[in-house]
Amino acid sequence: MSSGNAILAEGLLKDYVTYIRKGFLRKRKRIIHALRGVSFRVRWSEVFGLLGPNGAGKTTTVKIITTLLLPDGGRALVNGFDVVKNPIKVRESIGVVLNVERGFFWKLTGRENLKYFGMLRGLKGKDLEEAIDRVVKLVGLDELRSIDKLYEEYSLGMKARLALARALLHDPPILILDEPTLGLDPPAARGIRELLVRLAKREGKAVMITTHNMFEAEIICDYVAIISSGKISAQGTVHELKRLVADKIPVSIKFSGKIASDLNAVSKLLFESTLSPHIRIKEVRDGFEARILVDAGNEEKAIASSINALVSKGFNVRRAEVVEPSLEDVFIAVTKGDGENAVIND
Amino acid sequence: MPSSMIDVFRAQLHSSIYWYKNNKWMFFSMFLWPYLLVGVMLGLGALVGNVSLFSKRVGVVDPAFYLLSASAVAMSSVGIVDAVAGFALYNRWLGTLNYIFLTPIREAKLMIAAGIPDSIITPLISVVAVAPAAFYFESIVGGLKLVIILLIMYMGMIPLVGLSVLAATALLFVREESNIISSITPFILLLSGVFYPVSVLPRALQVLSAYVPSKYVVDAAKLAAKYTSMPWGWVVLTLGILAGLGAIYNGVASYVVTKAEVAVKRKGVE
């Protein structure tokens, strides 16, 4: 394990050249700028999430980091090894899941598939058997008693577990997973998420995932980078990212009884009660709940003063809580709601 | 620790064994295939042509034994080209190619080592399949001839692996989903003179056939069917030619693959 960052990407560039047919013989060259200077770092014992819409450059980034694709510019170090100059050392350091739906031999059992990929990595004999038993247990395939079934009989959840088992077979210090829970049912997805967090926190592995699933990123990622149009648009902890879009923090205040039936009257009442420059009334819901916006940075003081003001005016405040913007709000704000967003030059 | 070519060979050998174990009917059909092929050819030949005229033109004593040996050679040649050149295509279809290329070994070494187990297994199966016929027609001499043919097939395999690696590299570039190999193999069989003598081909194809390794293996099969004792001088010459072709094709293949490695990775492995 290198002492620095587990993964370091600096200014990664990648263009794809494609051709559009303009007749039987004529075709026009088209350059797709898949990556336009992508930089990020993944630390040890951290779950890092790379989020982005389709075509943003997530898979291209993963392919470069895993040595399956050469960058046109920039550099990437994995476990301290350069992906271009020392790909063999990089491959020794990583366990990879690229697509949970395929990537195994259909006519071989789960165990035979793991044996094949283990042997490719130089594992043999007792070491190989022990490694298979260890990972099968770790991903929970032993509970399902499915490891000796043909892969073609596997459900999607079992396939995902087997893919993760293969990635862990040689006990790599770094895991790189492209959409590891895509299409899984909630219990299976939860199982995978819990395992990834456990591997990072208990075993000190660095885990990098790409995902569309904001909920997933929010609950398991220590650090998130949002990639859009081949560039990192924002990165930080989930909390830091949320602050990017919220200079005003929404706070929900719930009352024991209906405060008024006329919403305008309630707004006026609340405004007069909480005469603070840091507070703005956002909305009043069904007469029992009011949402106020407080300035970020002063939220604790502002919330306390508004509650005090409301209580002193005779309102029965039952509960007050900060309603954080979701990571999805951040994602949409940062990517501006783009869908397919690769940059194309004809 | 980086993986070695032996690790790749061992993994691929095991996966082939597992595959045959889990596909028993497919495995047994490989033993029946030469007999079915020869049965159809001789049956059709007898119906619409003349078997003795065929024997005279091709220059064999026993057409059934010759056709069986030729079928074994054809099956082996197709098997070798499929094993090596089809490796990238087959694994791309399955989605396993990326994971195989994540093995800590140079891609060129990986592609060569991965094709060898099936290149050994397929000729062995085809020879074992026709062994009962060889013993039936010529008893122990027939068996010995098969061993000679197998050895020549293995020698023929070496340059064929080189040719197939070149085809595999082309497939990584082309990224066609259609099976280009299925267009290559009939051409190789035609130039090898497996079922028709090379002498009936146009002059240009006859010249080209001298560079096709399986042509020499087919010639060996013909001789085995023709003579009661092997012409050893010819056998040594054939082995020499195959060794020469092997050195040239594999030399060119390893140079091309090493150069292509960077270009393929620039485009991306899929």
Select, from the ranges A214-223, B61-70, B140-149, B230-239, the one with the highest average predicted confidence (pLDDT).
A214-223
**Does A154 reach chain B within 8 Å, measured CB to CB?**
no
Say whether A74 sits in a helix, a strand or coil.
strand
B6 chain-A contacts, CB cut-off 8 A = none
What gap in Å lies between CA A137 and CA A195, rounded to an integer? 12
Say whether A87 sits in a helix, a strand or coil.
helix
The residue range of the domain holding B164 is 5-267
Smallest Cα–Cα separation from B214: which of B178, B234, B185?
Answer: B185
DSSP one-letter string for chain B: ----HHHHHHHHHHHHHHHHHH-HHHHHHHHHHHHHHHHHHHHHHHHHS-HHHHHHHHT-S-HHHHHHHHHHHHHHHHHHHHHHHHHHHHHHHHT-HHHHTTSSS-HHHHHHHHHHHHHHHHHHHHHHHHHHHHHHHHHHHHHHHHHHHHHHHHHHHHHHHHHHHHHHHHHHHH--SS-THHHHHHHHHHHHTSSS-GGGS-HHHHHHHTT-HHHHHHHHHHHHHH-SS--HHHHHHHHHHHHHHHHHHHHHHHHHHHHHHHHHHHH---
Pairing of strands A81-82, A73-78: antiparallel
**Does B139 reach chain A within 8 Å, measured CB to CB?**
no
Least Cα separation, residue B95 to chain A (angstroms): 4
The pLDDT of residue A339 is 46
B2 chain-A contacts, CB cut-off 8 A = 88, 92, 122
**Could you tell me which chain A residue has the CA closest to the CA of B9?**
A120
| Residue A7 neighbours by CB distance under 10 Å | 24
Is B197 a residue whose pLDDT tops 80? Answer: no
Of B2, B19, B99, the CB nearest to A107: B19
Q: Which of residues 61-100 of A touch B (CB under 8 A)?
A: 63, 66-70, 88-89, 91-92, 94, 96, 98-99
Q: How many residues are present in chain A?
A: 346
**Domain A248-323 is in which class?**
alpha beta
Give residue limits of the domains in chain A: 7-243+332-345, 248-323
Of B2, B8, B266, the CB nearest to A92: B2
Pairing of strands A317-322, A248-255: antiparallel
What gap in Å lies between CA A279 and CA A38, rounded to an integer? 39
CB-based contact A117 B11, cutoff 8 Å: yes
Structure tokens at A163: 């893919």
What gap in Å lies between CA B227 and CA B60, rounded to an integer? 9
Least Cα separation, residue B173 to chain A (angstroms): 13
**Does B16 reach chain A within 8 Å, measured CB to CB?**
no
Residue A150 DSSP label = B
The pLDDT of residue B262 is 76
Please state the φ and ψ torsions of residue B200, each to the nearest 5 degrees: -90, -5
**Does A182 reach chain B within 8 Å, measured CB to CB?**
no
**Domain A7-243+332-345 is in which class?**
alpha beta
Least Cα separation, residue B269 to chain A (angstroms): 6
Of A63, A102, A105, the CB nearest to B268: A63
ipTM of the complex: 0.83
Of B96, B101, B268, the CB nearest to A105: B96
Residue A165 DSSP label = H
Structure tokens at B200: 């009936």
Please state the φ and ψ torsions of residue A48, each to the nearest 5 degrees: -110, 130
The total number of structural domains that make up chain B:
1
| CB A294, CB A302: distance < 8 Å | yes
Give the list of residues 6+ apart from residue B175 with CB closer than 8 angstroms, or none: B270
Say whether A40 sits in a helix, a strand or coil.
strand
pLDDT-based confidence at B175, cuts 50/70/90? low
What whole-number percentage of chain B has pLDDT above 70? 89
**Could you tell me which chain B residue has the CA closest to the CA of A94?**
B102
The pLDDT of residue A284 is 63
The pLDDT of residue A274 is 57
What gap in Å lies between CA A57 and CA A232, rounded to an integer? 10
Least Cα separation, residue B101 to chain A (angstroms): 7
Is B228 a residue whose pLDDT tops 90? Answer: no
Per-residue pLDDT of chain A (346 residues; tens, 9 = 90+): 666 799 999 999 999 887 777 777 777 888 888 899 999 999 999 999 999 888 889 999 999 999 999 999 999 999 999 999 999 999 999 999 998 888 999 999 999 999 999 999 999 999 999 999 999 998 888 876 789 999 999 998 899 999 999 999 999 999 999 988 887 888 888 988 999 999 999 999 999 999 888 888 888 999 999 998 899 988 999 888 887 766 667 777 787 776 665 556 556 666 665 555 555 656 666 667 776 666 666 677 777 777 777 777 777 888 887 777 777 777 777 776 554 455 555 5
Sheet containing strand A206-211, strands side by side: A94-97, A174-178, A206-211, A47-51, A223-228, A231-236
| CB B133, CB B149: distance < 8 Å | no
**Does A122 reach chain B within 8 Å, measured CB to CB?**
yes
Q: What is the pTM of this model?
A: 0.81
Element (H, E) at A177: strand A174-178
**Does B10 reach chain A within 8 Å, measured CB to CB?**
yes
Smallest Cα–Cα separation from A89: which of B16, B40, B113, B106?
Answer: B106
**Could you tell me which chain A residue has the CA closest to the CA of B90?**
A105
CB-based contact A120 B22, cutoff 8 Å: no
Interface test with A, best of B12, B101, B102, B266 (most A CBs within 10 A): B102
CB-based contact A91 B19, cutoff 8 Å: no
Of A98, A99, A116, the CB nearest to B11: A116
Which residue has better confidence, A43 or B235? A43
Structure tokens at A131: 């490694």
The pLDDT of residue B270 is 58
The pLDDT of residue B144 is 81
Lowest mean pLDDT among A260-269, B204-213, B230-239: A260-269
Please state the φ and ψ torsions of residue A232, each to the nearest 5 degrees: -80, 115
Smallest Cα–Cα separation from A217: which of A199, A243, A235?
Answer: A235
Least Cα separation, residue A92 to chain B (angstroms): 6
Give the list of residues 6+ apart from residue B92 with CB closer than 8 angstroms, or none: B270
Instruction: Tell me the β-bridge partners of A206.
Output: A174
The pLDDT of residue B61 is 72
Interface test with B, best of A121, A128, A150, A162 (most B CBs within 10 A): A121
- Per-chain mean pLDDT for chain B: 81
Of A89, A103, A119, the CB nearest to B96: A103
Number of H helices, E strands in chain A: 11, 15
| CB B87, CB B37: distance < 8 Å | no
**Does A149 reach chain B within 8 Å, measured CB to CB?**
no
**Does B95 reach chain A within 8 Å, measured CB to CB?**
yes
Residue A53 DSSP label = -
Smallest Cα–Cα separation from A217: which of A49, A41, A46?
Answer: A49
Give the list of residues 6+ apart from residue A8 with CB closer than 8 angstroms, or none: A41, A42, A76, A77
DSSP one-letter string for A271-307: HHHT--TTEEEEEEETTTEEEEEEETTSHHHHHHHHH
A69 chain-B contacts, CB cut-off 8 A = 265-266, 268-269
| CB B261, CB A84: distance < 8 Å | no
Rounded mean pLDDT, B124-152: 83
What whole-number percentage of chain B has pLDDT above 90? 10
The 10s digit of each residue's pLDDT in B41-60 is: 888 888 888 878 877 777 77
B53-57, long-range: CB < 8 A, 24+ apart: B57/B197
**Could you tell me which chain B residue has the CA closest to the CA of A113?**
B15
The 10s digit of each residue's pLDDT in B74-113 is: 778 778 777 777 788 788 888 899 999 999 998 888 888 8
Query: Which residue, chain included where needed, has tokens 């091309």?
Result: B256
CB-based contact A68 B102, cutoff 8 Å: yes
